[in-house]
Chains A and B, each alone.
Chain A
Amino acid sequence: MVRFAVRRLTTVLLTLWAASILVFTVLNILPGTPAQVILGTQATPASVRALTIKLGLNEPLVLQYLHWMQGLLTLHLGNSYISGQPIAPELGAALEVTAPLVVLGLLVGLLIAVPAGLVSAVHHRKASGAALAAATQVGIAIPNFVLGILLIIVVAVYLKWLPASGFTPWSSSVGGALQSLILPSVSLGLVEGAILARYVRTAVLGVLRADYLRTARAKGMRTGQALVRHGIRNAAVPVVTVLGLELSGLIIGAVVIEAVFTLPGVGSLLLSSVANRDLILVQDIVMLVATVVVLTNLLVDILYRVIDPRIGLRS
């Protein structure tokens, strides 16, 4: 148990360290210095040099990296190159949009995937099961931003039920904030849900054909009872794997969806900071996303061991 925890934690830290080096290197290889971008093409070389020194970008790269790491480890994320404002509150405000968006998207996805996958597996020989399977296939084929735009046209513009874009801050109205997240999270979750539904279907089909389900029925359980008692846990093993991967997909999808719905989230912040060569902000955001992804994988790994005794904590 302890050995497992230590080993996994070491892996997490090493992965994040590797990610930080990669991010830092790639962004510093990119053409265009931040000072040049900030001051525009008309700036004199002297003023560009002055700003470079002011931002500390004249220091050796190793030193810049160590400064950045020091900031990350002490949670002092530094100031934006562009606005000069501290990054932490800005990132925090963006997270208030993106974190609920991703969680709601995941929830929508699960709410679609689990029933759809279950029903299409149990009824796989009937028309209803085939229709559901076909519907999930269509769902997979639709890019989430197309779905987002469709939803805007139908639900926001035509029916006028929900706002088409923008975000009402949580501090001014919780209901308003939720309302502005409904369409984005549906367009985010629907596609992921369709993908996940396929995996749920396959997993449940596997369980339905398993010998232990027949044993359970031979004991006198009805198929439904047996599925609940034995099926859910057994089907969960492959589904949890995909769920971990899907979460990464949701985070990437959120960047696009935030642009479609003009939400002031992490994705929008990332896009604008890339455009502005606000390198330190880009680095911080990428590290944040990397941390979330790595921690999700850790969580999946732990869940495996909770679900399946054969994997065990020692191995």
Chain B
Amino acid sequence: MSLLEVSQLTVDVQGIPVVSDVRFAISAGERLGLIGESGSGKTITALAIMGLLPEGLRARGSVVLDGTELLSLSERRLSAVRGSRIAMVFQEPMTALDPLMRVGTQITDAIRIHERVGRRAARDRMLQLMPRVGFSNPREQSRRFPHQLSGGQRQRIVIAIAIACGPALILADEPTTALDVTVQAQVLALLQDLVQDQGSALLLISHDLAVVSSVCQRIVVMYGGRVVESASTPELLTRPRHPYTQALLHTSRGIGGNGDTPAGHLPTIPGSVPELGRFPSGCVFRGRCDREQDRCLEAPPTTGSDHLVACWFPLTSPSDPTAAVTTGGVGA
């Protein structure tokens, strides 16, 4: 049985769907990647799972953790789940911590909310946690305020908060996007190690296919608030079936130099992500897709069992992944 099962998850903003009919499952200890461009609904999906949607947004559908439906849980019961069973690492380490509180206290708080331990015991736990996220001098460093730490250090504090109670599932929303490139790999490796040590499951949200494919066993691709494809990482990388996934793959491969675009040109996906509420009816990728036909005016069903795809005309041949995508430089 899955640890987390998301089905028919829909989130509306004033009647405009930001997330529509999203479904995926994570089993215990599994690392699942959620990938898509900005505006594809990744963050909203994570916040809906946590029950932390901004005011005015409501989630419908079903989010089941360990047999418990989270969407219908009272705020009181849900707050007992947050932090202890599911934890979240946010995108912005600069603002995710209280600027007026010592970082050690912010970690200690996370422990004391869920466990009936004394102040001193919680502090000892915190001092043991800090070396695990890479602080060599926890006594001194736990007394710092967030502004005295670098972005990478702050994010490691946020990670320490997330793992403090040994949650079964950690949602990491673009945990390295705001960091320096040199620090990104460190933080990512740290997150992966910790998750594996604890046996937690991980939902890693990113727009960066390279990041997700290096960490995750399975990948869910979102576009326009919908899941367009999901498969195991090797399967998705070698045999993408949705034209959007293929285009994504193409853009990230092109940078490596082994793509087929001429030097000095970055491969792009033609067009741009529509504004919220401006997505076309039918298939959301319509208008940017070159396999488009009349049938795409109708929303495609999701087909497949292990390798799910929502496309009327999925790619079938793994031999030529570039066939369907317009290539060329910017503006081509």
Contacts and interface: CB of A to CB of B under 8 A. Distances in A.
Interface of A: 125, 210-212, 214-223, 225, 229-230, 233-234, 307-310
Q: In terms of DSSP, what is the predominant structure of the interface of chain A? A: helix
B96 A212 contact: yes
A220 B90 contact: no
B52 A219 contact: no
B314 to A, nearest CB: 37
B50 A218 contact: yes
Nearest to A124: B55
Contacts, number: 80
Given A211-B90, A212-B95, A219 B100 contact: no
Interface centre among B83, B98, B145 (most CB of A within 10 A): B98
A221 to B, nearest CB: 6
Nearest to B144: A309
| Interface size class of chain B, counting residues whose CB lies under 8 Å from the partner chain | 20 to 34
Contact of B82 (A125, A218, A307, A308): A218
Given A212-B96, A233-B100, A308-B100, A220 B145 contact: no
Contacts of B161: 215, 219
Contacts of A310: 99-100, 145, 147
6 contacts: A212-B99, A214-B52, A215-B106, A218-B90, A219-B164, A220-B82
Contacts of B92: 211
Given A217-B52, A218-B82, A218-B83, A212 B113 contact: no
B84 A230 contact: no
Contact of A211 (B75, B96, B145): B96
B97 A220 contact: no
A230 B101 CA distance: 8
Contacts of B84: 220
Contact of A218 (B88, B101, B145, B147): B88
B79 interface: yes
Nearest to A214: B52
B109 interface: yes
Given A218-B82, A222-B79, A310-B145, A229 B100 contact: no
A229 B145 CA distance: 16
B60 interface: no
Interface string B138-163: 00000001010000000000100110
B80 A220 contact: yes
A210 B94 CA distance: 11
B237 to A, nearest CB: 31
Contact of A234 (B52, B75, B83, B98): B98
B125 interface: no
B110 interface: yes
A222 B97 CA distance: 17
Given A310-B99, A310-B145, A220 B79 contact: yes
Contacts of A308: 99-100
Given A211-B90, A218-B162, 18 more contacts: A211-B92, A212-B95, A212-B96, A215-B90, A215-B98, A217-B79, A217-B82, A218-B52, A219-B83, A220-B80, A220-B82, A220-B83, A221-B79, A230-B98, A230-B101, A233-B101, A307-B100, A308-B100
